Amino acid sequence: MPVESAPRIGHNKKMAEIKLAKTAGFCWGVKRAIDITLESARGKGEEVYTYGPLIHNPQLIKLLESKNIHVETNLDNLKPGSEVIIRTHGITPQKRDDLKRHGLVISDATCPLVAKVQGMIRKFSRKGYSIVIVGDDHHAEVAGLKGFAETPVYVVASLEEAKKLPDMEKVFVAAQTTCDIQNYEAIKKYFREKCPDLEIGETICEATDERQSEVIRLSKEVDAMVIVGGKNSANTARLAGIAKEQGLDTFHIETDDELDLTHMAKYQSIGVTAGASTPKWIIDAVVAKLSSIKEQRKPLPVEILGIIVKSNLFLAAGGAILTYTNALMLKETPNPLIVGVAFCAIAATYLTNQLLRPKEIQKSQIRKYNYHLKYNSLFWGIAIAAAVSGMVLSFNLGWPSLAIYLAVVGFGTTYGLDRGRFRLFVRLKDIPASKDIFVSLAWVMITVVLTYINEKGTGNITFPLLITFGIAYTRSILFDIRDIYADQVIGKEVMPMLVGKEHAKKTLYGVLLGISIICIMDILFGGRGSLMAAYLLGIAYLLGFVYYNESKIWINSAKFDLFLDTPYFIIGAVAYLIA
């Protein structure tokens, strides 16, 4: 149900414009806690526990339970040696001592910003300051903060409550990290005028500041706001309150199932934001459902292009073109059979793997998931036809080619799935950052090695091998960065999850610049300058793509796939013209 406020005028019957806040979704503290939790549970047969809900989002808690991670608050229910994860909101020193007395193994997922506030309260309390915490006295974070005070501690939620406090000589004022900014500013001003010895902690986290400020800005551009997040989430509730204060019809929902599209259809523009503990897949589902309001049928060419991209046929064509270019680099006439095998292997591997993992695709790429539902029979037909055709073509090339094809397609289509009895062996998926490396190696085998072993070219295999690996690795990492929030919940072993998004981007720049140097050196000294120029143009395009997506990204859009896979066609077109 909406939070009632004055309605806006100017509604029409056009498709609603949906504006998604840039700050919607997990903050870095929540992402860190989920990472710690999944890492603690990975590979363990016994249950792992969180001391209270890890974050305030019921859907994520339910997902963690499916991964053998359970919420527990009664320590008597836990046997000594059990692993317990301290939630993002932190706990009191007394409760931490209780965990130790029960012989439990502690993993601390307290948000570092919360831990910083805890330390400040302890520091000033030991100096004799009375402590005033601005926030919700019933919130888990505030309960934990109070435990660090050794002098009188008071919790106030408003300026009116602050004015009722007794006179104090020395006061340290801190805020719950998700506190309303304007409320905190008013209370700080009051204490500055009242207390002779005052210390103030700037303890509202940056993510809270950004979210609240963006809601205010976004409210000037839309007719209604949808706030996505747990009903028990304090920071999400504050976002809803701020939107209401701007005079907007405001809807605080947990999932897209709560949306009444008939009611929402009256709005011309709708803003969407989410609390710091809301998973990306839930936000995507809400945006996708809102986008369906009075959605007009797409023009046939656009619909066909969407099918080609979402079925990975566009990517497969790019792989075939890269195979053609690599053959020229190996000083061979491109073999149509090998080009066809590359097309079939990429189409079959990517599409089948996605069709076999619908729940994971739903959580990371909701629009692609919807395409898979709509065209499920067609996509399965494409995947099977590609797989069978690839086997026939590779068989005609000989047993070594068939073996490479079956190995790449077999491993690629089942990557990330539960392989049953094969779990007795070391799971390659569990090697940190393994996915991106294995994907790149598969591209090398299909687009370079097949040509090399069949045609026995006189060219040097090293350069096309390194360049192909670098381009494929860049593509894989860029998809990881796009889906990083979902990845940290799903638990995929990808490089950005291990080192962070910014370090992953720096790695991409290093990889692309490295293979650019290889191209330039060969142009200057290797005698294949014209063909290397084709690779160099594609690499330059990818550098621009990485740079552009520093500030803008087409989340869950076919545009992302389309533009990311374009360099294969650039490389092939230039190589064809040169050849």
Q: Which residues are catalytic?
A: 141
Using CA atoms, how far apart are residues 78 and 97, in angstroms rounded to an integer? 15
Helix/strand/coil for 266: coil
Matching residue, tokens 């500055």: 192
Closest Cα to residue 158, out of 180, 125, 138, 143?
180
Q: Within 13 Å and on the Cβ side, how many CA atoms surround 410?
A: 8
Structure tokens at 2: 């909406």
Closest Cα to residue 201, out of 267, 122, 255?
122
Crossing angle between the packed helical segments 462-482 and 529-548, to the nearest 10 degrees: 10
Letter for the amino acid at 58? P
Using only the alpha carbons of the chain, give its radius of gyration: 28
C-alpha pair distances (Å), 246 with each of 6, 221, 282: 9, 11, 25
Strand partners, 270: 18, 224
Matching residue, tokens 């959605």: 295
Enumerate residues 6+ apart whose C-beta is below 8 A from 253: 226, 227, 228, 259, 286
Q: Within 13 Å and on the Cβ side, how many CA atoms surround 348?
A: 24
